[in-house]
Chain A
Amino acid sequence: MTKADVIESVCKEVGFSKKESAEVVEMVFDTLKDTLEKGEKIKLSGFGNFVVREKKSRLGRNPQTGQEIEISARRVLTFRPSQVLKNALNGLKSAE
């Protein structure tokens, strides 16, 4: 599935024109990105949470040469699917 399929769903289900659907979907994803860029977390109930985590610098190794190198401190994004999504994925009914 790609963004085009998401746009298609919105077009069909919500009844917006193709153009409007594309713009609205784009705005949704842009809003998510802008929010995460600020380091803020996003909680989408029934779907999951996106959290920005601070990682400290650590020593890593070049797997090819075995040479030790420092991996700099960085911020990374993690996604944790909600229990509802995990259950749906495994064909289970959710409690609610």
Chain B
Amino acid sequence: MLKSDLIATLVAKRQLTQNQAEETVETILNSMKAALCKGDNIEIRGLGAFHVKEYLGYNGRNPKTGSVIPVKPKRGILFRTGKELRDRVNRAGEPAREHKLEPAKSETGTA
């Protein structure tokens, strides 16, 4: 799903105009982006949480030449899936859990 598909969903399901839907989605993403840039963490219940992590600088190496290069401190984002979504994503993948439970099942082949 792309951003445009998300926008199309809003148009179809909530009768927003194309412009309103675009503006809404952009506003949501921009406000989240602005918060993260300020160093704020975001927690959306059911979806997950975004944390800003500060990384210290360190001395790295150019793997090709072996020369030492200082890597500057930087910030990254860690995302932790919320409980509801984690369960929903995993439950939908239930068939992956065949091992040990029903060893007899493989006899039937692909049927």
Contacts and interface: CB of A to CB of B under 8 A. Distances in A.
Interface string B15-37: 01000100111011111110111
B101 to A, nearest CB: 10
Q: Interface residues of B toward A: which range?
A: 35 or more
B81 A9 contact: no
Interface of A: 1-3, 5-6, 9-10, 13-14, 16, 23-25, 27-29, 31-33, 35-48, 52, 54, 57, 72-79, 81, 85-86, 88-90
**Which applies to chain B's interface (DSSP): helix, strand, loop or mixed?**
helix
A85 B35 contact: no
A91 B52 CA distance: 14
A38 B16 CA distance: 25
B17 to A, nearest CB: 11
A49 B14 CA distance: 25
B41 A32 contact: no
B89 interface: yes
Given A2-B43, A27-B10, A77-B48, A85 B89 contact: no
20 contacts: A1-B32, A1-B35, A1-B42, A2-B42, A6-B31, A6-B32, A6-B44, A24-B10, A28-B28, A31-B1, A31-B6, A33-B47, A37-B92, A44-B3, A72-B99, A73-B96, A76-B81, A78-B79, A89-B36, A89-B77
